[in-house]
Amino acid sequence: TSGLLVVAKTEHAMNYLSNQFAEKTSEREYVALVWGNVEADEGTVEGNIGRHPKNRLQNTVFLGDEADKGKPAVTHYKVLERLGYVTLISCKLETGRTHQIRVHMKHIGHTLFNDERYGGEKILKGTTFTKYKQFVDNCFKVLPRQALHAKTLGFEHPKTGEFMRFTSEVPDDIQQCVEKWRSYSKHQEL
């Protein structure tokens, strides 16, 4: 994942920032490219996240009787652009669980593009044509990681109390991949 993160230099700052994340007063927005056409223009994914029982490198969503196996997690998403077999989305986090966006998007059937840990490095949507497979492989080469970028981070400064907001432009690898999909989707009947 590219983009912003915050590092506390003192224990006081760490506690102050942790409380903001727990009380949901911080601001965190990500941009992601996901497999499939996300039908709703916006939505919310709620589901407790915990360690996957069979694959310890992954987390998963636990619902119903098993909800207590995970911790509550809420992700709000909004479609930025539909590109045929993939969709560019914005995600805002209410909670901050490990791999939250990756897990929640997979849970609703939209695994992050080229997310090797969660299966997004395979062709999950599209045709079986060789040219399409070559196109997707070229996209994977342009973007050799999961398509996730921490774009905005906002929080109250631990000493001054001032609300600070930082933004980071979407990096070239994601932009180049999105441009490839943009061009591809214009020339295909999907």
Instruction: Judge contact between 14 and 6, C-beta under 8 A.
Output: no
Q: What is the C-alpha separation between 21 and 72, in angstroms, rounded?
A: 13
Classify 26 in phi/psi space as left (phi over 0), alpha (psi -120 to 50) or beta: beta
User: Is pLDDT at 81 greater than 70 in this prediction?
Assistant: yes
What sign results for the dihedral spanned by CA atoms 137, 140, 144, 145? negative
Q: What is the C-alpha separation between 156 and 177, in angstroms, rounded?
A: 34
- Please identify which residue in the block is written with the tokens 């849970």: 107
pTM of the model: 0.93
Total of domains in the chain: 1
DSSP state of 66: G
At residue 140, φ and ψ (nearest 5 deg) are: -60, -35
Q: What is the C-alpha separation between 75 and 93, in angstroms, rounded?
A: 5
The answer to whether residue 164 sits within a structural domain is: no
The answer to whether residue 128 sits within a structural domain is: yes
Q: What angle do CA 182, 165, 41 make, to 5 degrees?
A: 35
The answer to whether residue 157 sits within a structural domain is: no
pLDDT at position 24, please?
A: 85
CATH number at residue 50: 3.30.2350.10
Residue range 111-170, pLDDT digits in tens: 999 999 999 999 999 988 899 999 999 999 999 999 999 999 999 999 999 999 999 999
Q: What percent of the chain has pLDDT over 90?
A: 92
Find the domain containing 140 and state its range: 30-147+169-189
At residue 68, φ and ψ (nearest 5 deg) are: -70, -5
The answer to whether residue 162 sits within a structural domain is: no
